[in-house]
Amino acid sequence: MPDNQAPTDRTRIVREPQRAVYDRAAVYEILDEGFICHVGFIVDGQPFVIPTGYGRSGDNLYIHGSAASRMLRNLDKGVPVCFTVTLLDGIVLARSIFNHSMNYRSVVVLGTAVAVQDPKEKLTALRALSQHILPGRWAESRQPNEKELKATLVMRLPIEEFSAKVRQGPPVDDEEDYSFPTWAGVIPLELVPGMPINDPTLAPGRATPEYAKNYSRKR
């Protein structure tokens, strides 16, 4: 697919258009750093927005869950989907309350998800979901058995109609407010992992793997 995606009428950034990003690589960088997506859809006129984990493999997003999940059962019917991910990078304190803001990176993907039927692709998708959260863990864990695979529904959402929006940098005040006597600046925010905590039932002498000790969302 092309590196730069021409925005559609639905994905074109209208408010603060200078923050718009339509570059596929930049969008993938945001998606690969995020943990949780929000999936929006409508059932019988009622909007729902459900938070869930996700994974990316190439130009496809994958979400999964129980085959009995209301969200997945409705997505499997071909309803339109709005998929969003947001990373919060800082709180922006301006001199004026009106101009306070946040530094962030966000992605919106629109489309229709389809159920993954091929067993090989299903395993590939589940591996992508696992690797997205913790690279290296899939190879050291028990693989899904046939019963678990049958009980799991995996949906694929092609990354075709998308846009990103990014706000970075210091506060922007009105010219007359720059002399107002208060502190202004940015409070950076970052997701920082703590030290791994052993399962109380862990076998004695089982070492903590490097991917757990040195975990980071930065890719």
Is residue 2 pLDDT above 70, yes or no? no
> Which secondary structure element, helix H or strand E, spans residue 156, and what is its range?
strand 152-158
Mean pLDDT of 26-47: 94
Q: Report the share of the chain in percent with pLDDT over 90.
A: 79
CATH architecture for segment(s) 17-213: Roll (2.30)
Q: Where are the strands (E) in 54-151, listed by range?
A: 55-57, 60-66, 80-93, 101-112, 114-115
Q: How far apart are CA 187 and CA 52, in angstroms?
A: 28
Is residue 87 within 8 Å of residue 164, measured between CB atoms? no
- Parse the chain into domains and list their residue ranges: 17-213
| Amino acid at the residue 35 | F
- pLDDT per position as a tens digit, 53-88: 999 999 999 999 988 888 888 888 889 999 999 999
Mean pLDDT of 160-168: 96
Neighbouring CB atoms inside 10 A of 196's CB total 12
Q: How far apart are CA 143 and CA 172, in angstroms?
A: 51
- pLDDT per position as a tens digit, 173-219: 999 999 999 999 999 999 899 999 999 999 999 999 999 998 887 65
| Mean pLDDT over the full length of the chain | 92
Q: What pLDDT was estimated at residue 72?
A: 87
Q: What pLDDT was estimated at residue 219?
A: 59
- pLDDT per position as a tens digit, 100-124: 999 999 999 999 999 999 989 999 9
Q: Report the share of the chain in percent with pLDDT over 70.
A: 97
Exposure class string for 72-109: b at 16+ Cβ within 10 A, else e:
bebbeeeeebbbbbbbebbebbbbbeeeebebbbbbbb
Burial of residue 46 (CB within 10 Å: 0-12, 13-18, 19+) is exposed
pTM over 0.95: no
